[in-house]
């Protein structure tokens, strides 16, 4: 008799679109980091208002974390945003 692990049987939770979806981008704190990130995201979503953007610097000011909450319309949109963000040289991580 085999016992299956509960984790392997479960599927990842499905996202119901449209929804508000936060994207966190971490990268080197270079002069145009925040602007480059917002430009890429707005190419896929339209204009993002400032109340949907949160910016935080690292303790030593070497890195910047930008969290942008978007109105996500589908999985394809999210994949395209993630791919384009990873093309920015100063981006280190997209969550």
Domain ranges of the chain: 30-94
Arithmetic mean of pLDDT, 46-60: 96
- Per the listing, tokens 């910016």 go with 55
CA separation for the pair 11, 8 (Å, rounded): 8
Arithmetic mean of pLDDT, 39-49: 96
pTM (2 d.p.) = 0.83
- Examine the pLDDT at 32 and tell me if it is beyond 90: yes
CA separation for the pair 16, 84 (Å, rounded): 23
Arithmetic mean of pLDDT, 12-19: 84
Q: Are the CB atoms for 48 and 42 separated by under 8 Å? A: yes
Tokens of 94: 């997209």
């Amino acid at each position: 008799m085999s016992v299956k692990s509960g984790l392997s049987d479960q599927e990842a939770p499905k996202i119901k679109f449209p929804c508000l979806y936060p994207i966190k981008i971490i990268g080197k704190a270079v002069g145009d980091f925040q602007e480059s990130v917002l430009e890429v995201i707005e190419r896929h979503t339209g204009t993002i208002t400032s109340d949907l953007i949160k910016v935080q610097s690292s303790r030593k000011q070497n890195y910047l974390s930008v969290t942008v909450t978007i109105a996500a319309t589908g999985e394809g949109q999210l994949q395209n945003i993630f791919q384009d963000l990873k093309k920015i040289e100063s981006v280190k991580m997209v969550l």
